[in-house]
Chain A
Amino acid sequence: MKDRFANRRYFIMALVFLAAAVLLVRLFYIQIIDRTYRTSAENNVLRHITQYPARGLVYDRKGELIVYNQAAYDLLVIPIQTSTFDTTRFNEILGITMDDFRSRMKAAVSYSRRAPSVFMKMISSETYGVLQEELYRFPGFYVQARTLRKYTRPVAAHLLGYVGEVDDKLIARDKYYRAGDYIGTSGIEKSYEEQLRGRKGVNIFLVDVHNNIKGSYADGRYDTIAMPGKNLYSTIDLNLQEYGEKLMRNKTGSIVAIEPSTGEILALVSSPSYDPSLLVGRVRSENFSKLQADTLKPLFDRALMASYPPGSTFKIMNGLIGLQEGVIRPSSLFSCSNGYHAGSITVRCHSHRSPLNLVEAVTMSCNAWFCNAFRSILENKNYPSVQEAFDHWRNYLITFGFGNKLGIDLPNELSGFIPARSYYDRYYGKDRWKALTVISLAIGQGEIGATPLQMANMAVTIANRGFFYIPHVIKKIGEDGEPAPLYTRKYITGIAPENFEPVIQGMEGAVNGGEGATARGARLDSIIICGKTGTAQNPHGKDHSIFVAFAPKDNPQIAIAVYVENAGFGSTFAAPIASLMIEKYLTGNIKRKYLEDYVFNMVIKPDARK
């Protein structure tokens, strides 16, 4: 076959020569003609100095500064550029011994002879001042500016989180980080790392053999500019946060306070806590191990990461679901003879008048009433089986944010636990269980677990009569920022607004009412607080005291959940704390000094036995 296109080979050959010529001309230009890339004859070296941008600041909801930065300096060394120098003077400036010097030098050399490594981290400004003047005597050493976190008040440690050095795994995964860089490892420092960190820049300097910087390499053409991190505007009320932490001193537990109309978290307390400045700078690793070894686990954020059975506070949910399903009415009467008795099962209750309607049952926290109500929910004739009714019951809880992570903008949130039908099927056999089998769910005991954050969110939803926004701690990123769209989306529950009213009336009665009111300790003269006590059973020791509330009753400004571990019944401990928090937030100062003193002086020994 005749190849008509054989001549095209010459064109293709020409293409090869053209490609080679383009590359060679360009190489000739940058390697021989253009002198900007060349370093001078005195064997100058280029020094790449990373410009670490200042990390973003954090403000509270009123614009008060919470977290800012302080300068610190890392001393770096490039072993191959060092020569004999006055080590005695050098060690004197840094305040280290000769042995110390040798081991640091050895570590640097074993990392690399040619690449810079940190000789000494975070030296103070004073040391830096002295060192800078004499640095010319110590070739191969140079200083790189860093910033350290500073806190205006020693509060909100869990929320703010801390900054640590990146580990090798992360360096391998994320190209942005280099060994020695810092990264937020918990709290908002972690969840907003990308916004807070800004972007590193690099300045390239020419350095002569005497360790003097001769100027910018190629007039700074290859420098990159550092971009400072963005400031965060938090939803936290710093005064309220501080007050909450003060109230929780000498107790274990947590407080979560949220603004119902927005989902903005006003205070997020986990006790015991620690001073966030303990985890900054050179003292960090030492303090960290200390805190980690502490048996009270101060590093553990109970507000988000502890899951407890919600106890009697959960009766509210069963009341709401019963009303919505139409199986109970506000006027439904159930009798109570010191408890609920059905067959071999008894759920005990305290002595009170009988029978009660819904409002009274919430006020007096009657176990029998809610066992009856819960049974009506599960034995609803509209559904073919108890199991189907149970699915519906569970779905209502899911719409309130139970059983899943709410999606707060903080790391490590726990999802809590609402057992599914399959869970009981596994235990008792498929569909071989009845309402009575799971009756403890009626009063919030048994298998269910919820975090304090979820309970506060429940209070929010009740205060709003049926909806919530995902709780969050950051309002906006940057001066003109806006809240993430995730946090402006309204989540509507399956409960109609009118069904909230009788329950809220019961909660009002619990705090302000007369007969049998369970939370009188939370009463405030000027403002109507609606609340519900609870006790979380604790198999390991004394029960945990719980209180959820919101105020004022109409147009609520704050919803709150308080947990005090091992404190026993909810009304004695958690309720006054919640009440004081509400008073502080809504009125700005505390009139009930006696109550405040009572709480301040209250010491709850952890792990107290029954």
Chain B
Amino acid sequence: MFKDLIKLDLLPTSWCPGCGLGQIMIQLAMVMDGLGLNHTNSTVISGVGCTGRLAGYMNVDGIYTLHGRTLPVAEAVKLVSPDLKVIVVSGDGDLASIGGNHLLHAARRNPDLTVLCNNNNVYGLTGGQAGPTTPRNTKTVSTPSGATYDPVNLQNLMKAGAKYFYAKTTVYHQLHLRNCIKEAVAWPGFAFVDITCQCIENNGRRLGFNSAYEMLQHFRRTYKRAPDGAETLGSDEIGIVRQG
């Protein structure tokens, strides 16, 4: 049962009602359950902030690392324990901003890691400041007149190397999300899953959404599946691009 992979006695989680992290955790647990991954053969390593709490709710050995340092910790764990399945769950701010240098070089070295990026376009836990993925002109508490710069292009960053695995999905597209996680776990290298996720309390309401449901419906309307064999995902497409 996938529920065996979650510390049910710790529920409810510390996440806000409507947060998408619970869905990411459930889908990860379902994938792990399906692949026979458990506390004897896998570890979940998470970053700081809301996403950082995820490892603590999983029934495996988990690490909550420092801000941005998820990947160096995970890469070392994998090097020491090659038989262990190492799954990283970290936020967009953690991976692409404060840990940006580590992301660049971990992807280059291509260790066998599965990286799930909870991409909510904002620094959620600290109260809704602009992050590296915040779209230009978005109003946040640290960009009161709109974000000044274009967001980082994670797909292009991940595709910089000769070998890559980049999946784009959303919390609305549950089966697609699960499939992306499954394919990423099976990928023999650095597999990055960019998961668009709603942060209703510290981003969505400021953008005019009244509920997490409205944000999910927005994801449903915005994102379409990329055609089979697509080599590049458009900004409104979900899918997987890879090169082994």
Q: Do A and B bind each other?
A: no
Binding site for B on A (CB under 8 A): none
Binding site for A on B (CB under 8 A): none
